[in-house]
Chain A
Amino acid sequence: LQSTSYRHIASAQSSMQKHHTIWKKNRQNMSSEKQETAAVRVLGRWPSPFVIRVLIVLGLKGVDHELVEEAVGNKSELLLASNPVHKMIPVLLHHGRPISESLIIVQYVDEAWASHAPALLPSDPYARAAERFWAHYVDDKFPTAIRVLRGRLDGDKDEAAAQVCAALQRLEVAFVECGQGKDYFGGDNVGYLDIALGSHLGWVRAVERIAEIRLLDAAKVPKLAAWADRFCAHPAVADAMPDVDRFVEFSLKNDGALKAASANSK
């Protein structure tokens, strides 16, 4: 691991005073043995596409890490201390220094392990801007719609499905522009936008089964459908994102209560 992280963290000009204090406390609490094995920890839970993003990027970069599972509906002291503003997963702890917000974590890992291939963002500023634009678009269009389709959030399911389909149509075009006709949005290798969109695939496919709809339709978005298979088969992704059966199983167990509750209240 880079010693630069120590130098920057020790720097008196650290502007993250609150997080710096937490980081210092964590380091003091950890034995020197533990420091080595738990140098990179992820606070999260597997069904979250945002957590999956972090696990994918760490896998791609070959960074050893420990997943600290957060219990559903019971936020740990460590989470609350590491992300006091949002109190949400995922949080990356790098030698105890917390980094929050999944896409920010992805960029952080890319930059902190820049010596590890592949680079997740292209070097050209315009190409980088394009991937950032579309990643922001993905998080605008997918998460809420998927929650509606799972039955976790009240809303019009037809509208939610239409929103996802329309977004996929746009991304079908973006796929060619960004990837220049190659295997991934990132070209030859999985990149930032692949991770941003790809991390939602578990739930997209699960919701297709649960809500009995077609979202990633090979007839309508052939390139994305092929990309989706390719992405999910990538070793770093397969490790981080379980098979769609597990997502469906999780939904039946956990979203079922909400569906029943909303059905009873009608």
Chain B
Amino acid sequence: MTEPVKLIGAFGSPFVHRAEVALRLKGVAYELITEDLFNKSELLLRHNPVHHRVPVLLHGDKAICESLVILEYIDEAFDGQPLLPTDPGERAEARFWAKFFAEKCLMSVWLALWTEGETQKVLMKDAKEHLAIVETQLKEKRFFGGVAIGLADIAGASVLSHWAGVLQEVAGITIMSDDEYPAIRRWMEDYNADEVVTECLPDRDQLVSHFTSIRGKCVAAAKSMLPNYLATK
């Protein structure tokens, strides 16, 4: 007997998208529960008491939090397309790039969008350095996972392929212009070509109006995340 799977998410969250892609790649049926992050439900607060954040995966009576932890859980708890290779060295590499995306590349891009002046200059420089590293990696492989989407691809392409364009438009700043990073662009196209991905991508226009309406909150969030990013550089 299979236990029911639910995913607590919120519109516009690329971290929720990561979990949805993983579940769909595995062919796992799930119920999506959409939260209003400015009016969090008792369900969310109860199942993620430490962070009060989405996504939260509910598998039967178990609650799993943090999107990268959820990805590894999905890989281990369900059969289907593996998200990680079997070789320990290759697994370490996949985890390395997933962490690089989560803590460096996506973070510097996010922070560069919502800061100003000298701070923004530093973050832009970091973002471009990080993107250049990713570009070099993608010259030599289709996906970080090899021939198929894997853990690191879900971690990175989820944000860069759909959200980065939207956020640059809303912030009025260009970090990745159309003629830059051809390998990254090719990777994003390959990622988006997978129908499993497009099934759970939010509508672009709706994303633009969503982030436009919460622009102030993005700036505030970036401000609170900045010290930790700088401290761990």
Report A's interface with B, CB cutoff 8 A: 4-5, 8-9, 13-19, 85, 94, 97, 99-101, 104-105, 107-108, 111-112, 125-126, 128-129, 132-133, 136-137, 143-144, 147, 153, 170
Contacts and interface: CB of A to CB of B under 8 A. Distances in A.
Nearest to A109: B88
A122 B70 CA distance: 16
Contacts of B133: 85
A114 to B, nearest CB: 8
Given A104-B99, A170-B50, A136 B91 contact: no
B1 interface: no
A97 B231 contact: no
Greatest chain A CB density within 10 A among B96, B99, B146 is at: B96
B89 A94 contact: yes
B76 interface: yes
Closest 8 pairs between A and B when the two form their complex, measured CB to CB: A111-B88, A125-B76, A125-B77, A129-B73, A112-B88, A108-B92, A8-B87, A17-B140
30 contacts: A8-B89, A14-B90, A15-B140, A15-B146, A17-B140, A85-B133, A94-B89, A97-B89, A99-B89, A99-B96, A101-B95, A104-B99, A107-B92, A108-B92, A111-B88, A111-B91, A112-B89, A125-B76, A126-B59, A128-B72, A128-B73, A128-B76, A129-B64, A129-B69, A129-B73, A132-B66, A132-B69, A133-B66, A136-B69, A144-B232
Contacts of A5: 89
A257 B42 CA distance: 49
A16 B93 contact: yes
Chain B's interface: helix, strand, loop or mixed, by majority?
helix
Given A8-B90, A18-B136, A129 B72 contact: yes
Contacts of B91: 107-108, 111
Main SS at interface, chain A: helix
Contacts of A85: 100, 133
B65 interface: yes
B89 A104 contact: no
A101 B96 contact: yes
Interface of B: 50, 59, 62, 64-66, 68-70, 72-73, 76-77, 87-93, 95-96, 99-100, 133, 136-137, 140-141, 144, 146, 228, 231-232
Contacts of A111: 88, 91
Nearest to B95: A104
A4 B62 CA distance: 36
B136 to A, nearest CB: 7
Nearest to B61: A126
B146 A13 contact: yes
Contacts of B77: 125-126
Nearest to B139: A17
Contacts of B146: 13, 15
Contacts of B68: 136
A97 B93 CA distance: 11
Nearest to B102: A136
Given A104-B95, A126-B73, A133-B65, A15 B231 contact: no
A105 B88 CA distance: 10
B52 to A, nearest CB: 13
A2 B232 CA distance: 35
Given A4-B87, A101-B96, A125-B76, 8 more contacts: A17-B140, A18-B136, A94-B89, A104-B95, A125-B77, A126-B59, A126-B73, A147-B231
Contacts of A104: 92, 95-96, 99
